């Protein structure tokens, strides 16, 4: 008879118990659903007690003689459900359920709006993800360096967060060298998976997590594919293009909450058209979308109820151009929202603009999602803290609004046409998701150097110490003449080095290039921001401005650098509106630091007032003025910047 032990609440093994005694322990609530259980039957066979056995334990509810309904916590839930079902049968139907079940139409809001056919795309994705059985031909080198090809059965299926898992079954073992490497089997090459209904192309170098056991027969090759597409006659060109990016974020930020909405649309999946309300009923208000252009091509951008981000082309175009434009849109949204959605992406192509028929599907597992709280344009926070600055704004100003479409179009265009802007955005995206604030600071510092390097080059005439090019050329020629007079006394290497330095003589210092560039774009820097800019040099030399234990302070510097870069980028693209001072907002949410700040500020006020009262009593006017200036300076240094800034 099997004997069982269980781990009690005091983390001590109790037993051995028979099956009957175990059932009684469950009824007495001594054993719970997830209580670890051990028996000699499931162990290594040589141990008499769980403390001497290294095999894993079983969970109580996994034992066949302990059904779920036996546990008191489940019994209670079953009885409650039974009671509710009885009450429901006798409850009078007052129509409330029908109201809650059917969404309420929002007046004439959706009259005449465009219809998006999304179901054929989602259906194609589900069919593609189902995978199935295929044949694959592998080309590889034998131990004698001969090239051979063999065909094997292959099984693939979608694995969320990993791409597509595959198993290739080799009933006849190939004679390859380096049996534990994917390259030995040709898995790094382009592959074709074939069955009676479809041919799927696997891109080269898209195999990861490769494993196999050798020598075993049959030998099974396992791993993941990250880039697969169905073969089409059009090769994804000369058609309408759609990108669907799956989103796994509990706080998904809709594109239309960042960039000005172009209106509403509805789709053929009715569940996406209605939205919950705080009052209880759901309202059928459709989907907000953005209608924008890049290089003459129109796109619609929208989201499907926290499920996915969608970008649709409105004209026939080639896949590569669509990929460039859609990447710019995604990265533009990312720097504004602080969230870059880039895990599982599905590119679909169709011969019709409505996507009622899908010609091809291309899956790419990017594994590059970056989620942060660094949203720089935020109307919700503006509504909470905008009153702090509204008194200083022109009457009737619209600085609360989302970014105008034409400004966002300009941002996307810059991301496509100027490498420095693209690198800046990519560095910001990488930094905002990095868990190490020191590494964040290093990446932000490089990003700041990159964008100011571009803008200082554009504005070099305004930054050079001698703006007049003719005057500088005259001075430079005279200096070169003087240098040539020492040619016999200076080595050729020395002459070359000094000549290069003379050529760069009219360039501003790196610090001036950084700081003055902000002023050229109408951004007034505080002393604290200038200090932050100076600290970027510490990061660039592989150091940290503070010890690693000062996590909050390092994160604060990181937030300041993030805001500085975004200020400059947004002014460069022509944005005029609100931004969130992320460092101040984070500080204001930290109750301990905010309490200390208020306490210190009050103490400065008390000490300063006491000092001035003492000097008034002494009738020392000169000392009084000096103390007053010192006090006002101290108050100014301890004054928090507003959470909302207008640039």
pLDDT digits (tens, 9 = 90+) for 16-31: 888 888 888 888 888 8
Predicted confidence at residue 79, as pLDDT, reads 57
For residue range 293-318, list pLDDT tens digits in order: 999 999 999 999 878 999 999 999 99
Question: Distance between CA atoms of 431 and 437, rounded to whole angstroms?
Answer: 9
pLDDT at residue 96 greater than cutoff 50: no
Comparing CA positions, the residue from 450, 455, 401, 406 lying closest to residue 428 is 450
Question: Distance between CA atoms of 330 and 412, rounded to whole angstroms?
Answer: 9
Q: 494: cis peptide before it, omega within 30°?
A: no
Question: Distance between CA atoms of 451 and 430, rounded to whole angstroms?
Answer: 16
pLDDT at residue 388 greater than cutoff 80: no
User: Which residues are CB-contacts of 316 (< 8 A; sequence separation ≥ 6)?
Assistant: 238, 239, 240
Comparing CA positions, the residue from 450, 437, 456, 455 lying closest to residue 539 is 437
For residue range 398-435, list pLDDT tens digits in order: 677 899 999 999 999 999 999 999 999 999 999 998 99
Cβ neighbours, 10 Å, residue 66: 21
Cβ neighbours, 10 Å, residue 397: 13
- CA-based diameter of the chain, in Å? 110
Q: 215: cis peptide before it, omega within 30°?
A: yes
Cβ neighbours, 10 Å, residue 38: 24
Tokens standing for residue 301? 């951008």
- 3 state DSSP class of 432: helix
Return contacts of 103-109, CB within 8 angstroms, 24+ apart: 103/273, 103/274, 103/281, 103/282, 103/283, 103/284, 104/281, 104/282, 104/283, 104/284, 105/283, 105/284, 106/283, 106/284, 106/285, 109/264, 109/285, 109/286
Lowest mean pLDDT among 30-34, 179-183, 431-435: 30-34
Question: Distance between CA atoms of 586 and 596, rounded to whole angstroms?
Answer: 15
Buried b (16+ CB within 10 A) or exposed e, 442-479: bbbbbbbbbbbbbbbeeeeeebbeeeeeeeeeeeeeee
Give Cα 15 to chain centroid, integer Å. Answer: 51
Predicted confidence at residue 638, as pLDDT, reads 73
Q: pTM (2 decimals)? A: 0.77
User: Which residues are CB-contacts of 230 (< 8 A; sequence separation ≥ 6)?
Assistant: 128, 198, 199, 200, 201, 360, 361, 362
Residue of 157 and 98 predicted with greater confidence: 157
Pairing of strands 104-105, 240-246: unpaired
Predicted confidence at residue 444, as pLDDT, reads 95
Question: Distance between CA atoms of 229 and 4, rounded to whole angstroms?
Answer: 52
* Confidence bin at 41 (pLDDT 50/70/90): confident
For residue range 46-61, list pLDDT tens digits in order: 677 887 775 667 888 7
User: Which residues are CB-contacts of 364 (< 8 A; sequence separation ≥ 6)?
Assistant: 226, 227, 344, 345, 347
**DSSP type of residue 122:** H
**DSSP type of residue 360:** E
**HSE-up (13 A, CA, CB side) for residue 636:** 9
**Average pLDDT over every residue of 637-643:** 79
User: Which residues are CB-contacts of 12 (< 8 A; sequence separation ≥ 6)?
Assistant: none
């Amino acid at each position: 008879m099997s004997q069982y032990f269980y781990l009690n609440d005091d983390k001590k093994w109790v037993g051995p118990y028979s099956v009957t005694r175990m059932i009684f322990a469950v009824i007495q609530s001594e054993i719970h659903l997830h209580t670890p259980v051990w028996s000699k039957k499931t162990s290594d066979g040589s141990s008499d007690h769980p403390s001497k056995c290294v095999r894993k334990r079983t969970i109580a509810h996994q034992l066949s003689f302990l059904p779920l309904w036996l546990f008191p916590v489940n019994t209670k839930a079953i009885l409650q459900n039974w009671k509710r079902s009885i009450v429901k049968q006798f409850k009078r139907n007052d129509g409330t359920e029908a109201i809650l079940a059917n969404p309420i139409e929002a007046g004439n809001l959706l009259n005449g709006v465009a219809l998006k056919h999304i179901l054929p795309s989602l259906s194609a994705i589900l069919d593609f993800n189902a995978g199935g059985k295929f044949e694959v031909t592998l080309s590889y080198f034998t131990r004698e360096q001969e090239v051979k090809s063999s065909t094997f059965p292959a099984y693939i299926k979608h694995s969320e967060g990993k791409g597509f898992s595959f198993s290739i079954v080799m009933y006849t073992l190939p004679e390859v060298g380096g049996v534990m490497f994917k390259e030995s089997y040709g898995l790094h090459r382009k592959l074709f998976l074939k069955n009676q209904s479809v041919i799927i192309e696997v891109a080269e170098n898209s195999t990861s997590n490769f494993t196999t056991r050798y020598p075993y027969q049959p030998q099974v090759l396992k791993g993941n594919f990250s880039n697969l597409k169905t073969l089409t006659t059009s090769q994804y060109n000369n058609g309408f293009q759609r990108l669907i990016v799956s989103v796994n974020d509990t706080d998904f930020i809709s594109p239309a909450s960042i960039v000005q909405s172009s209106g509403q649309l509805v789709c053929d999946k009715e569940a996406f058209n209605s939205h919950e309300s705080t009052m209880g009923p759901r309202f059928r208000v459709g989907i907000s979308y953005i209608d924008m252009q890049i290089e003459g091509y129109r796109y619609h951008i929208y989201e499907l109820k926290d499920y996915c981000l969608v970008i649709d082309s409105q004209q026939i175009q080639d896949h590569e151009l669509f990929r460039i434009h859609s990447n710019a849109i995604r990265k533009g949204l990312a720097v504004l929202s602080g969230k870059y959605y880039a895990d599982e992406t599905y590119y679909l192509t169709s011969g019709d603009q409505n996507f009622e028929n899908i010609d091809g599907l291309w899956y790419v597992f990017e594994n590059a999602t970056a989620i942060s709280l660094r949203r720089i344009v935020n109307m919700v926070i503006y509504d909470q803290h905008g009153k702090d600055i509204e008194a200083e704004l022109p009457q009737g100003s619209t600085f609360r609004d989302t970014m105008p479409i034409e400004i966002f179009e300009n941002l996307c265009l810059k991301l496509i046409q100027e490498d420095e802007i693209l690198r800046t955005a990519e560095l910001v995206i990488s930094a905002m998701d990095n868990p190490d604030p020191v590494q964040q600071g290093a990446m932000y510092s490089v990003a700041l150097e990159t964008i100011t390097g571009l803008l200082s080059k554009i504005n070099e005439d305004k930054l050079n110490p001698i703006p007049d090019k003719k005057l500088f050329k005259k001075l430079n020629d005279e200096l070169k003449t003087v240098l040539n007079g020492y040619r016999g006394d200076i080595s050729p290497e020395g002459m070359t080095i000094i000549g290069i330095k003379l050529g760069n003589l009219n360039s501003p210092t790196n610090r001036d290039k950084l700081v003055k560039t902000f002023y050229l774009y109408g951004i007034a820097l505080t002393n604290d921001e200038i200090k932050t800019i100076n600290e970027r040099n510490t990061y660039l030399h592989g150091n940290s401005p503070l010890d690693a234990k000062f996590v909050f302070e390092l994160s604060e510097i990181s937030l300041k650098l993030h805001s500085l870069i975004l200020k400059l980028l947004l002014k460069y693209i022509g944005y005029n509106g609100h931004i969130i001072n992320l460092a101040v907002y984070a500080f204001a949410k930290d109750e301990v630091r905010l309490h200390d700040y208020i306490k210190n500020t009050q103490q400065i006020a008390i000490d300063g007032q006491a000092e001035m009262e003492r000097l008034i009593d002494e009738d020392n006017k000169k000392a009084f003025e000096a103390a007053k200036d010192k006090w006002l300076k101290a108050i100014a240094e301890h004054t928090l910047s507003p959470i909302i800034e207008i640039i």
